[in-house]
Amino acid sequence: MSLLYYPLLLTKNDDDTYIAEFVDIPEAKTIVRWPDMSPLYDCLYVALTGYLEEGREIPKPSSPPKIVTFPVYIDSMIKDITDEFNRNSKC
């Protein structure tokens, strides 16, 4: 199982929330409330699903100068997305 690290940009809002953007996947953007970062997984999942549905290649992560890890088991995620896509596209 491959483990990829996508750079994440967090921008603090005026309240206790942050705008979270995956640098290499512009469609993956959401608002999170620290310390609950669980919406990030759903955000990335939905964005990657869109890539697969549109037949687009999933971007490789870039290497930021400073890394905070948020592990995503990309193989498992892509398999789930592909299985769901295949189930829904059968006539």
pLDDT tens digit string along 23-43? 899 999 999 987 788 888 899
The DSSP H or E segment spanning 22 is: strand 17-22
Mutual angle of helices 74-89 and 39-53, in 10-degree steps: 50
Q: Kindly report the pTM of this predicted structure.
A: 0.63
What is the rounded CA–CA span in Å between residue 12 and residue 9? Answer: 10
Question: What pLDDT, on a 0 to 100 scale, did the predictor assign at position 29?
Answer: 95
18-27, 57-66, 81-90: range with lowest mean pLDDT: 81-90
Q: pLDDT tens digits for 65-87?
A: 555 555 555 566 667 776 776 77
Residue 12 pLDDT class (50, 70, 90 cuts)? confident
The highest-level CATH class for domain 3-85 is alpha beta
